Amino acid sequence: MSPDFVVSFGREAILITLMLALPMLGLGLIVGLIISIFQAVTSIQEMTLTFIPKIVAIMFALIIFAPWMLEKMILFTRTLIINIPTYVR
């Protein structure tokens, strides 16, 4: 295993991790911005108003994107396991 291989493998693992986190983080960001604008317009500064909608939105995104995320994780793991003999050399 060369250093280039280790770097490329780590890079691929980080990219997969970011791709899997992106739908939930993106939806949480959008809901957070909408709630912040709503709070600024109405001058309501309730702390639970910021957390509850974000939690619900992230859970919704997790339910919607779970099959896609599972497919990506299985593909990455399958590729990793199939190529173990190549990695050992």
Using a CB cutoff of 8 Å and minimum separation of 24, what contacts does 65-72 make? Answer: 65/23, 65/24, 69/20, 69/23, 72/16, 72/19, 72/20
pLDDT at residue 46, rounded to an integer: 83
| pTM assigned to the model | 0.78
Per-residue pLDDT of the chain (89 residues; tens, 9 = 90+): 788 888 998 999 999 999 999 999 999 999 999 999 998 899 888 888 888 999 999 999 999 999 999 999 999 999 999 988 888 87
pLDDT of 45: 83
d(CA 39, CA 77) in angstroms, rounded, equals 43
